[in-house]
Structure 1
C-alpha cells in the first residue's frame, strides 16, 4: 500500500497591503489630489506616493501644520473610498500568493498600517480574500497582530515590515516592489528577498518542505 505524505502542521502567513498586495499609488494619488483641492493646501501627490508605508499622519505632517494633521487624517479617510479604491490594482501575484497559503494548508492574514475599513474595501474590490485583516499597525507594532495570529512568516515591501517581522520572531520575506530596494531590505534584516509575489508560491512550498531556495 502506498503511504500518504504527512500532513503539514498548521501555519499562518502575514502580508502587508500597500505595495505588497496592492499597487496603491494611483488611488492614494487621487485621494491626496482631492484633499488638496478641497482644502486649498498644495500636496505634492507625486512625491507622496514614492514614500508609502508609514502611517498617513507622517505624510500629512509635510503639508499641514501639526494642529491640523489629525483633522486632515480623518477627512482623508472619509473621502478615500470615493477616490482610491476603484483605480487601485492588485500587485502581480497577489491573489496567487494568498491562494498558495490556503492550498498548502495555512491561514493568510493582512496586517497593515492602513485604516482597516479602507483596507477591507481594497481587498473586497480586488477579490483578494485573506482569513483576517488587521489595520492601524506600523513597523514593530505589527508584531502584536503577527504574534496573536501565530504568523511564522511576514511578507512586506518596506523596512518597517522587516522590523515588524523580526519583532514578532517571524521570518521576514521582502519584495522590493515599494519604496525600499533590495539592498535596503537586506540591510534591515530581511531573511528572504523575492523579486515580487509571483515567486512566492514556489518559495513557500519549498520553505514548508525544508528545501533550500536560492533568493
Structure 2
C-alpha cells in the first residue's frame, strides 16, 4: 500500500468528498430513475426503499431486484437513462458549495470520490455549479483509498460507513455527516474521527483543523 496520508501532513490541504447524500441530495433523481427502470423492465422495485440506503454501487442494489445474470446489463441500462431522469431533480445539500469554497479559501484542493458512474457524477456537479479540482468515480468503501492516496487527501467527508472505511484505509481523517442513511452512532462505530450534522458546519470545523496543522 502507498504511504498513508497524515492528518498533520505538511502537504497542501487536500479534502475529499463523497457525492450522494454528502454534497447532493440524489434521492429524488435516483427514485425517478428506478421507477423508470422498473416501468421499462416490468420488474417491481420499491424505489423509496432504494433511496433510504444509498451508498453502495448500483449493482449491489439491483441484485436485490434482478436475477444475477441480468444485473450487469440492467446496470448499464440504469446508467443510460440516468441523465434523463436523475440530474435535474437532485439538489445540492445545504452547505455543499460553501464546503468546497472553504477548502479553496484556505488554498487547498478538493476532490470528489464516489461509487457513482463518473459521467453521471460529472453531470450532477456541472448542473449544480459545484467544481472540485478532481473527480473519481466507481470507487466504493476501502477502494476509495486508492484515489485519496493518489491525491494526498488528508480529510475525507462522507455520509456512509463505507466512506469512513475508505478514509481509514487511506490514513485520512474521516469526517462523517448525518445527511445520509447512517446516523451518528453508526458513523462513530465505524471509526469516524469527526461527526457533523451537515456541511453547514464544515467551514468552521475546517478552519480549526487547518490552524491545528500549523
Distance in 2 separating the partners of 1:21 and 1:9:
25
Distance in 2 separating the partners of 1:81 and 1:20:
20
The two structures have a TM-score, normalised by structure 2, of 0.94
Distance in 2 separating the partners of 1:97 and 1:149:
18
SS of 1:52's equivalent in the other structure is coil
Deviations 1:8-65 (A, max 9, x none): 8511000000000000000000000000000011010010000100010010001000
Distance in 2 separating the partners of 1:155 and 1:202:
14
Q: Where does the alignment leave 5 or more consecutive residues of structure 1 unmatched?
A: 1-7
1:38 pairs with one of 19, 37, 40: 40
Instruction: From the superposition, tell whether residues 9 and 64 of structure 1 become closer, same or farther in structure 2 (CA, over 3 Å).
Output: closer
Distance in 2 separating the partners of 1:9 and 1:38:
50
Distance in 1 separating the partners of 2:212 and 2:172:
16
Q: Deviation above 3 Å: which 4+ runs of structure 1?
A: none
SS of 1:178's equivalent in the other structure is coil
Paired residue total: 204
How far the C-alpha of 1:106 sits from its partner, in A, is: 0.3
Larger Rg: 1
1:181 aligns with 2:172: no
Q: Where does the alignment leave 5 or more consecutive residues of structure 2 unmatched?
A: 1-9
Distance in 2 separating the partners of 1:54 and 1:24:
13
2:109 aligns with 107
2:126 aligns with 124
Q: CA RMSD in A?
A: 1.0
Distance in 1 separating the partners of 2:35 and 2:99:
32
